[in-house]
Amino acid sequence: MTRSSALQDWGIRTVPGWLAQRYRDEGRWTADSLGSTVAAGLSRAPHLSFHVRSTVRPYTGTLGDVDRAARSLAQGLRAQGIGPGSVVVLQLPNWVEAAITFWAATYIGAVVVPVVHFYGPKEVGYILDDTRPAVIVTPDRFGRTDHLQQYEQLLAERDDTPLWLVVGDRRRQDLPRGATPFHQMLESDPLGAPEAVDPAAPAIVGFTSGTTLNPKGVVHSHQTIGWEVRQCDGFYGKGGPPQIVGTPVGHFMGMINAFLLPLVRSEPVHLIDVWDPAEVLRAMGERGLGIAGGPPYFLTSLLDHADFTPEHLALIPYMGLGGAMVPEAFTERATREGITVYRSYGSTEHPSITASLVGDAADKRLRTDGRVLPGAEIRLDRGGEILSRGADCFIGYTDPELTARAFDADGWYRTGDMGTVDGDGCLTITDRVTDVIIRGGENISAQEVESLLLRMEQIAEVSVVAEPDPRLGEHATAVIRPHDAASPVSLDDVRSHLAAAGLARQKWPESIHLVADFPRTATGKIQKFRLRERVRDGSLGRPR
């Protein structure tokens, strides 16, 4: 008997029967569950290393060591009535306990809900209400967050009583009432074979990482995640050094890249729990690790660091970029450094839609987001918005109304991104629908302006957003992080640069804001909605 969850209230869509059959016929949807995929991967290479770089919870062991712990946790959870359909909320940093929990949950067919470790009570409370978990796994504290205090208050306000497992060194008597030390759940005999589950059933709910005001629960099945992992294995660059994963495993793609893809590829797992460029560079030097993918911020933070050396550069032979629109100025810079850059396009909802490959011609790798991947389709509506469909496209939101608005009867998903397709079938993302600034009735592409401004030597990062205008409705303002705070860029500098670049005057930012850093998502994306809020409420200060 499994504990109840909110699955029956979620907006799970019915994939058109003919489309589902096509995915099965093409071998993209199989009968494998995530549990069977994990078990097969771990059995192939139990000797490979599993290493966590952390000042508070380091770990060194093997995949086999972690697998034994995961199977013990799985057995302990099953004894508590937790199994297929039960929801496991996991809010942990990049620690070994996150892998133990994730693999254990897949073994018993539970639905995993990864939560970014720095989410606070507002976001966490929303997620708990939305998913009604049977199990919650948290640290006692991490960084500035006291998770014990946060969850004690959140759970006191709830009618249901999930099993709360706490990672840390505290004894049971030192924990809040109802909390259990995580390590005590590892005392059961290891589970044998993974639980048999329907491959079309929910497997992971990835809450969107904060580019919209409220997080959206994106539901994936065993089938969609299974194909996504195999898809990534096909187009990710091969060869080169072992990779260090800094993307939080509480983020949907961070979890896949840390705990599923290495198993398919028979590779070791190397994690770091805080993305500190100096520490990442130190880890690369000591263990011969590289980085091979992520948003541009991850690479620029290393390239711009004083400790970056040619030895580090040799550990980054290629770099896959995605998760945000990629400025040409950045790809050109990486290419000058000798890094083979290739771009891809996707989202939490539809993770892998298009990609270029390491061996593609440079102009396609650097200036487009690549061709449509196997198992995926795209089309553009009359306004230029991208609609996608594919074997790794999600099966619905936890909110049924959002699901109904996102899909049409033929299974096409409205991405909210604008794009163009060239004669070779390569897609280029031009903007978000919400990033189009309407100045006196004329549309301005924020990305077009950003790409040009990033060619200014004084500018490290920039985000162009709408600023209210009493006459025009809104105009463009550029929020800039300069390379050198002591030598800030001015509005006149911006205008002169854009004039020289030939950009139409009406598209120029009419004000600028200088910032030390941006509000970001877990993967380093700039949270534009927060910038818009701060521009509107004046918390960014007076524009220049």
Listing from the earlier edge strand, what are the strands of the sheet with 473-482? 459-469, 473-482, 511-514
Which residue, among 7, 29, 181, has the nearest Cα to 109 in the 3D structure?
7
* 3-class DSSP assignment, residue 18: helix
With helix as H, strand as E and coil as C, how does 62-73 read?
Answer: EHHHHHHHHHHH
Task: Choose the CATH number for 444-537 among 3.30.300.30, 3.40.50.2300, 3.40.50.300, 3.40.50.360.
Answer: 3.30.300.30
Please give the C-alpha separations between residue 296 and each of 117, 311, 446, in angstroms, as whole numbers.
22, 20, 17
Rounded CA-CA distance 74/69 in Å is: 9
Cβ count within 10 A of residue 261: 22
- pLDDT digit of tens for each residue in the chain (544 aa)? 345 577 888 989 999 999 999 999 999 999 999 999 999 999 999 999 999 999 999 999 999 999 999 999 999 999 999 999 999 999 999 999 999 999 999 999 999 999 988 778 888 898 999 999 999 999 999 988 899 999 999 999 888 889 999 999 888 889 998 899 999 999 999 999 999 999 999 999 999 754 445 678 999 999 999 999 999 998 776 778 999 999 889 988 889 999 999 999 999 999 999 999 999 999 999 999 999 877 677 888 899 999 999 999 999 998 888 755 666 777 888 899 999 988 889 989 999 999 998 888 998 988 899 999 999 999 999 888 999 999 999 999 999 999 999 999 999 999 988 889 999 999 998 777 777 787 866 678 788 889 889 999 899 999 999 888 776 778 899 999 998 887 789 999 999 999 998 887 878 999 999 999 998 877 678 888 888 888 888 888 778 7
Residue type at position 92: L
Task: Choose the CATH number for 317-439 among 2.30.38.10, 3.90.1170.50, 3.40.50.720, 3.10.20.30.
Answer: 2.30.38.10
- State the Cα torsion 165-170-172-178 to the nearest 10°: -40
pTM for the model: 0.83
Question: Residue 15: which residues within 8 A CB-CB, separation 6 or more?
Answer: 395, 411
Q: Is 194 exposed, middle or buried (0-12, 13-18, 19+ CB in 10 A)?
A: buried
Residue type at position 366: L
The pLDDT of residue 210 is 46
The pLDDT of residue 301 is 87
The pLDDT of residue 1 is 37
Residue type at position 104: A
Q: Strand 354-355 and strand 340-345: pairing?
A: antiparallel
The sign of the CA dihedral 493, 496, 499, 500 is: negative
Structure tokens at 204: 């992971």
For the chain, what is the largest distance between any 2 Cα atoms, rounded to a whole number of angstroms? 71
Which residue, among 152, 138, 251, 185, has the nearest Cα to 523 in the 3D structure?
251
Rounded CA-CA distance 453/446 in Å is: 11
Instruction: Count the helix, strand and coil residues of the chain and give each as a percent rounded to the nearest 5.
Output: 35, 25, 40
Rounded CA-CA distance 93/279 in Å is: 16
Return the residue matching tokens 């006692």: 140
DSSP 532-543: HHHHHHTTT-S-
Question: Residue 125: which residues within 8 A CB-CB, separation 6 or more?
Answer: 154, 157
The sign of the CA dihedral 238, 244, 247, 252 is: positive
Q: What's phi and psi for 16, nearest 5 deg?
A: -50, 135
Q: Strand 427-432 and strand 376-380: pairing?
A: unpaired
Cβ–Cβ under 8 Å, residues 452 and 433: no
Where do you find CATH 2.30.38.10 in the chain?
317-439
The pLDDT of residue 440 is 67
Structure tokens at 57: 């919870």
Kindly provide the residue ranges of all beta strands, DSSP E only, lying in 446-510, ordered along the sequence: 459-469, 473-482
CATH architecture of 1-6+31-209+216-274: 3-Layer(aba) Sandwich (3.40)
* 3-class DSSP assignment, residue 123: helix
Where do you find CATH 3.30.300.30 in the chain?
444-537
With helix as H, strand as E and coil as C, how does 268-316 read?
Answer: CEEEECCCCHHHHHHHHHHHCCECCEECHHHHHHHHCCCCCCHHHHCCC
b/e per residue, 123-150, with b = 16+ CB within 10 A? bbbebbebbbbbbbbbbbbbeebebbeb
